[in-house]
Chain A
Amino acid sequence: MPFKLSTAPYLHQANSVAIMMRQVLYALIPGIALYVWFFGWGIVIHILLTSITALSCEAILLWLRNRPLRLFLTDNSALVTAWLLGSALPPFAPWWISVLGTAFALIFAKHLYGGLGYNPFNPAIVGYAMLLISFPGEMTKWPYLASLSGHYPGIVESMSIIFTGQPLGEITLDALSGATPLNTMKTQLNNFHTVTEIKQNPIFSYYGAKGWEWIGSTFFLGGVWLIYKRVITWHIPMAIIGSLLLISSLFFILDSDRYPSPLFHLFGGGSAMIGAFFIATDPVSAATSNTGKLIYGTGIGILIYIIRTWGGYPDGVAFSVLLMNIAVPLIDYYTQPRVFGY
C-alpha cells in the first residue's frame, strides 16, 4: 500500500491569514463602540457600507482575474480594509463617499497591483487619501460630541443624514457638525492664537480632545492586544508613538504657545493610534525586518508631525504612511538582520 508523500514540516501552528485578519477586526471593535457612544451610529452605517462594497468589489475582481472566490473572500482582508476606511470617515459623510472610497481602494490599490500580498500601498489609506483630496468638504465635516451639542444621532437619524444629508426634525446638519479638534487647532494657530487660548474651546480636554482621547486610548489597547496575540510586533507602533512624542516634546518645550503638547498629538484625534497600530502595521505594505520597521515607524511619526505642524492638512497620518510605503523596498534592502555566525 503506497503512503502519501509530502515534505516537512508536518506540523503547523493553528493560524491562518483569515484568523489574523479576524483578530484585527476584533481589536477594532472596542474603539468603534466608543465612537458610537460619543458620536452616534454614523460610523456603524459607514462600516456596513464599506464592508458590502468591499466584498462586492473583491468578488467581482477575483472573478475577473480568474482567482478562487471562496478562498479569498473568506480571508477577511477585504473586511479589514473596509473597517479601517469606515472608521476613518466622518460619521456624517454621505453614503457615496464610503462606496467610492472603498471601491477605489479595492480596485485600484489592491487588485490592480495583484491582490492580497502584492499591494505596495495600504488600500484603506489610498482610498482615504483619494477622498480627502477629491472631496475636502464632505471629508472635514465632523459631528460635535453628543455631550457638547446635546444631540445624540441614533440609528435612524444617522441613516437619514448619510443617505439624504438631513438630520431628523428642525435641526440642520451644520448645527451638528464642525471641524475636528486637530483641524480647529491648526486653523486657530494659523490665525495667531496661542495654544492656551485655543484650548479654552470646550472641545479640548486636559490631555487631548474630549471623546477622542478615549477613542484613541481604546484603539491603543486594541493594538496592545494585537501585539500580545502576535498579529503585529511592537516595532512599528512604538516607533511611531515614540518619534511623534519625541519631536512634539522638543517643539513643545521650545514654545508651548505655538506648538501643542505631545499628548494632544497622540490623543487629539483617533488617527494617531489607529494609524500606529492598525494602518502602518499592515504587513504587506510595511517594512519587514525589525530594524526596518523601526525606521519605517520613525519616518511616519516624524512625517505626521511635519504635516500637522507645517503642512496644508490638519492631520498627516494617511500621507505619512503612504510616503513611507514608497520607501519600504529601500528600507528592506538596507536593514537585513545580522545572520547567525556573521
Chain B
Amino acid sequence: MTRFWQFHGGIKLNGNKNLSSEQPIAKANLPQFLILPLLQHIGVPAEPVVKVGDKVLKGQIIAHCQANDCHLKMSVPLHASSSGTVVAIEPHSVPHPSGLKANCIVIETDGRDEWVECNSITDYTTISPMTLRQHIAMAGIVGLGGAGFPAHMKLKSAGIDTLIINGAECEPYITCDDRLMREYPDDIVTGAQIFRHILGGTQHCIIAVEDNKPAAYSALLQSAQGRVSVVKVPTLYPTGGEKQLIHVLTGQEIGKAQLPADFGIVVHNIETTRAVYRAVKAGRPLISRVVTVTGNGIEQPQNLEVLLGTPIQVIIDQCGRKPDIEQLIMGGPMMGFTLPHDQLPIIKTTNCLIISSTPTLATQQTAMPCIRCGACAQVCPVNLLPQQLYWYTKAKDFKMAKNYHLFDCIECGCCAYVCPSYLPLVDYYRYAKAEIRANEQERQKANLARNRHEFRTFRLAREKAEKLARHQSAAAASQPDKKIIIEAALERVKAKKTHPDSEEKPILEESLL
C-alpha cells in the first residue's frame, strides 16, 4: 500500500485546525434538559418505548427500531444520554437544513448520571459476527462522520476484502477525529479489528490519515504494531469523501449507482470505530460524541465530549460565548449548513460547530456573470463541467444538466470555492436536482392519473358494452320464450275449442276437493 492514486481536481485549503487541535478532549457540562430526536440517522425514525413521566437511566433504550428489527428497516434504537425523567415526547426544532420540527424525547436530567447495567463483551473473537452486528445495532451506532448511515448496515455484506478506517478529516476547522486518534489510538485499532472480525477477516485493513495530522499518524502507528496498516494520504480536499478516499487508496472509481461493498470495500469513520469499540468492550451504547467547537465567536475553541441531546446553547456558553455571534455552522465550512438559533440539540451527526462573528467565513461579494473561465472544472473531484451545469441550470434546461451528469455531483463545494464570479454553484445544482426530482414525481403522478383515467374510460366502455351485451342476450333469450308461450297459449286455445269439456273439468274437480 505504498502507491496512492489521485482523483481529479481537489483543492488545498487553509485548515484552521490548530484553533482546536491542541487541547485534550474535555467533557461537556450536563445540561438540564436533553432533547433527543427520534431520527438522527439515515432511515426510519425509532419508536418511543417510554411515556412522559417515566424515570430513565443513562444508556437505557428509550426508542426502538420499528418492528424491533433493525435489519429489516434501516433504523437504530435511541438511548437516554443521562438519567432523569421523560418530560415530553413532542415535535421540537432539530438541526436540519430544512428548519422543520421533528419528534423528540425530552429528558429532564436528575444530575446523578446513573448508568443502566451494561453488558460488555470481554472476548469478541468468541462471539459470532451475527451476534456482534446485532449488538452494534442495539448500541445505536451510526456513521459519525456526518452522514449517519446505520453502522451495522455496512457490516453485513459478504465478500469484503478491504476495510478502510477514514481518518482523513479533510474539512477545515474539524479536529474531533484528530484528537480521538491522538488520545485513543488503541480503542480505534481494536475497533478496526472488531470490524474485521465481523466482516469475516478482511485481507486489508487500512487506517488512512491525512498528512497534516502527524501526531495522530504516529500515535496510531505505535498502537497498530503491524496489526492494521496505518497510512498517510496527501492533504487535499475532499480526500475524506468515501469514494474519493477509496480511489486514493485503491484506484477504484465507484460511480453514483454503485456501493463500495460491490467492490469488496467497506469504509468506516474514526469515531464510529471508537463507538463500536466502546459498545463491545464496555457495553456502552452511543450516548455521546466528540464535537469540535470552534470559530472566532467563542473564547475557547476546543473538542468536547458531548451527551447527545445537549442543547447547542449550553456548549457555546461552556466555550465562552462572545457577544457578537453572527453565524452558527453545523459541520464543516465546505459542506455544513447554518443553524437559525442555538436552542437545538447536538445529534449523532454533529461533528463540528463553527461559531463565527464574521467576516472570516461569510462571503459578502456580489455574484457576477459566469465568464466560463473553467476554474471550477479544474478542481471538480468528479471531473464534471460545473460551468456547463450552471449554464443549463440557469436556462432551466434540466435535461441537458442531467446529460452533463448533474446527479454525480457530490456537492463538495470546490467549484463554488474557486469561482471568481462568486456564483453559489452548489445551490444551483441542488435546485436543479430538486426540480428534476419534482418533475419526475409530477410526471409519475401525471402518468398514474392518465393511466387511471384511461382505465376508467376503458372500464366504463367495457361496462357499457357488457350491459348492452347482457341486454341483447337477455332479449335474445326472452324472445324464444315468448314465442313458446304464445304458441302454447294458442295451442291451449285451439285445444279448448276442439275439446271444450275434457280439460277443464278435472281441474275444477280437483280444486273443489
Question: A residues bordering B, Cβ < 8 Å?
Answer: 1-13, 15-17, 19-20, 68, 71, 75, 77, 115-118, 230-231, 233, 283-284, 286, 288-290, 332, 336-342
**B385 CB contacts on chain A under 8 angstroms:** 288-289, 336-337
Are the C-beta atoms of A8 and B336 separated by less than 8 Å? yes
Residue from B342, B363, B371, B384 in contact with A284 in the complex, judged by beta carbons closer than 8 Å: B371
SS of B interface (majority): loop
Kindly name the residue among A9, A12, A19 whose own CB sees the greatest number of chain B CB atoms within 10 A: A9
Are the C-beta atoms of B326 and A4 separated by less than 8 Å? yes
How far is it, in angstroms, between the C-alpha of A284 and the C-alpha of B371 when the chains are bound? 5
Task: Given A4-B326, A283-B374, verify A339-B384 contact (CB < 8 Å).
Answer: yes
Are the C-beta atoms of A3 and B341 separated by less than 8 Å? yes
Residue from B362, B375, B382 in contact with A6 in the complex, judged by beta carbons closer than 8 Å: B362
**A341 CB contacts on chain B under 8 angstroms:** 243, 253-256, 258, 382, 408
Are the C-beta atoms of B366 and A4 separated by less than 8 Å? no
**A6 CB contacts on chain B under 8 angstroms:** 327, 338, 362
Residue from B13, B337, B371, B427 in contact with A116 in the complex, judged by beta carbons closer than 8 Å: B371
Given contacts A8-B426, A339-B408, A340-B255, 15 further A-B contacts (CB under 8 A): A2-B341, A9-B417, A17-B371, A117-B369, A230-B378, A284-B372, A288-B374, A288-B387, A289-B385, A339-B384, A339-B405, A340-B253, A340-B382, A340-B383, A341-B258
| Chain A residue at minimum C-beta to C-beta distance from B13 | A11
Are the C-beta atoms of B340 and A3 separated by less than 8 Å? yes
Are the C-beta atoms of B404 and A336 separated by less than 8 Å? yes
**A230 CB contacts on chain B under 8 angstroms:** 375, 378
**A12 CB contacts on chain B under 8 angstroms:** 363, 365, 416-417, 422
Are the C-beta atoms of A117 and B371 separated by less than 8 Å? yes
**A336 CB contacts on chain B under 8 angstroms:** 385, 388, 404-405
Q: Which 4 A-B pairs have the closest CB atoms?
A: A341-B255, A117-B369, A9-B413, A283-B373
Kindly name the residue among B333, B373, B384 whose own CB sees the greatest number of chain A CB atoms within 10 A: B373
Are the C-beta atoms of A233 and B378 separated by less than 8 Å? yes
Interface pairs (15), CB distance under 8 Å: A1-B325, A2-B341, A8-B331, A8-B333, A9-B335, A10-B336, A16-B420, A16-B421, A71-B368, A75-B368, A117-B370, A290-B377, A337-B377, A337-B384, A341-B243
**B234 CB contacts on chain A under 8 angstroms:** none
How far is it, in angstroms, between the C-alpha of A15 and the C-alpha of B255 when the chains are bound? 32
Are the C-beta atoms of A5 and B338 separated by less than 8 Å? yes
| Chain A residue at minimum C-beta to C-beta distance from B385 | A289
Task: Given A3-B326, A8-B335, verify A20-B420 contact (CB < 8 Å).
Answer: yes
Are the C-beta atoms of B372 and A9 separated by less than 8 Å? no
**A75 CB contacts on chain B under 8 angstroms:** 368
The minimal Cβ–Cβ distance linking A336 to chain B, given in whole angstroms, is 6
**B328 CB contacts on chain A under 8 angstroms:** 3
Q: Is B28 an interface residue (CB 8 A)?
A: no
| Chain B residue at minimum C-beta to C-beta distance from A9 | B413
Q: Is B91 an interface residue (CB 8 A)?
A: no
| Chain B residue at minimum C-beta to C-beta distance from A70 | B366
**A340 CB contacts on chain B under 8 angstroms:** 7-8, 243, 247, 253, 255, 381-383, 408
Q: Mark B317-337, 1 if CB is under 8 A from A, else 0.
A: 000000001111101011111
| Chain B residue at minimum C-beta to C-beta distance from A290 | B377
How far is it, in angstroms, between the C-alpha of A7 and the C-alpha of B255 when the chains are bound? 26
The minimal Cβ–Cβ distance linking B416 to chain A, given in whole angstroms, is 5
| Chain B residue at minimum C-beta to C-beta distance from A71 | B366
Q: Is B361 an interface residue (CB 8 A)?
A: yes
**B342 CB contacts on chain A under 8 angstroms:** 3
How far is it, in angstroms, between the C-alpha of A12 and the C-alpha of B369 when the chains are bound? 17
How far is it, in angstroms, between the C-alpha of A17 and the C-alpha of B422 when the chains are bound? 9
**A231 CB contacts on chain B under 8 angstroms:** 373
Task: Given A20-B373, A230-B375, A341-B408, verify A8-B334 contact (CB < 8 Å).
Answer: yes
The minimal Cβ–Cβ distance linking B345 to chain A, given in whole angstroms, is 16
Q: Is B261 an interface residue (CB 8 A)?
A: no
Are the C-beta atoms of A116 and B369 separated by less than 8 Å? yes
Are the C-beta atoms of A9 and B334 separated by less than 8 Å? yes
**A17 CB contacts on chain B under 8 angstroms:** 368, 371, 420-421
The minimal Cβ–Cβ distance linking B95 to chain A, given in whole angstroms, is 12
**B340 CB contacts on chain A under 8 angstroms:** 2-3, 5
**B371 CB contacts on chain A under 8 angstroms:** 17, 20, 77, 116-117, 283-284
**A20 CB contacts on chain B under 8 angstroms:** 371, 373, 420
Q: Is B201 an interface residue (CB 8 A)?
A: no
Q: Mark B244-273, 1 if CB is under 8 A from A, else 0.
A: 000100000111101000000000000000
Are the C-beta atoms of A11 and B333 separated by less than 8 Å? yes
| Chain A residue at minimum C-beta to C-beta distance from B414 | A9
The minimal Cβ–Cβ distance linking A78 to chain B, given in whole angstroms, is 13
| Chain A residue at minimum C-beta to C-beta distance from B374 | A288
Task: Given A4-B326, A340-B255, A341-B258, verify A15-B418 contact (CB < 8 Å).
Answer: yes
Q: Is B19 an interface residue (CB 8 A)?
A: no
How far is it, in angstroms, between the C-alpha of A231 and the C-alpha of B374 when the chains are bound? 10
The minimal Cβ–Cβ distance linking B242 to chain A, given in whole angstroms, is 12
Residue from A7, A10, A15, A77 in contact with B361 in the complex, judged by beta carbons closer than 8 Å: A10
The minimal Cβ–Cβ distance linking A79 to chain B, given in whole angstroms, is 14
Q: Is B172 an interface residue (CB 8 A)?
A: yes
**A233 CB contacts on chain B under 8 angstroms:** 374, 378
**B338 CB contacts on chain A under 8 angstroms:** 3-7
**A5 CB contacts on chain B under 8 angstroms:** 338, 340
How far is it, in angstroms, between the C-alpha of A17 and the C-alpha of B378 when the chains are bound? 17
| Chain B residue at minimum C-beta to C-beta distance from A68 | B366
Residue from A11, A16, A117, A337 in contact with B334 in the complex, judged by beta carbons closer than 8 Å: A11
How far is it, in angstroms, between the C-alpha of A165 and the C-alpha of B354 when the chains are bound? 66
How far is it, in angstroms, between the C-alpha of A284 and the C-alpha of B368 when the chains are bound? 13
Q: Is B424 an interface residue (CB 8 A)?
A: yes
Are the C-beta atoms of A116 and B368 separated by less than 8 Å? yes
The minimal Cβ–Cβ distance linking A264 to chain B, given in whole angstroms, is 32
**B326 CB contacts on chain A under 8 angstroms:** 3-4
Are the C-beta atoms of A342 and B417 separated by less than 8 Å? no
Kindly name the residue among B13, B326, B372 whose own CB sees the greatest number of chain A CB atoms within 10 A: B372
Q: Is B314 an interface residue (CB 8 A)?
A: no
Kindly name the residue among A10, A17, A118, A284 whose own CB sees the greatest number of chain B CB atoms within 10 A: A10
Q: Is B339 an interface residue (CB 8 A)?
A: yes
How far is it, in angstroms, between the C-alpha of A336 and the C-alpha of B172 when the chains are bound? 31
The minimal Cβ–Cβ distance linking A221 to chain B, given in whole angstroms, is 21
**B362 CB contacts on chain A under 8 angstroms:** 4, 6, 10
Are the C-beta atoms of B422 and A16 separated by less than 8 Å? yes
How far is it, in angstroms, between the C-alpha of A8 and the C-alpha of B416 when the chains are bound? 9
**A16 CB contacts on chain B under 8 angstroms:** 365, 368, 420-422
**A118 CB contacts on chain B under 8 angstroms:** 369
How far is it, in angstroms, between the C-alpha of A289 and the C-alpha of B376 when the chains are bound? 11
How far is it, in angstroms, between the C-alpha of A342 and the C-alpha of B420 when the chains are bound? 29
Residue from A8, A115, A116, A288 in contact with B388 in the complex, judged by beta carbons closer than 8 Å: A288
Residue from A7, A9, A339 in contact with B383 in the complex, judged by beta carbons closer than 8 Å: A339
How far is it, in angstroms, between the C-alpha of A3 and the C-alpha of B312 when the chains are bound? 13
The minimal Cβ–Cβ distance linking A21 to chain B, given in whole angstroms, is 9
Are the C-beta atoms of B426 and A9 separated by less than 8 Å? yes
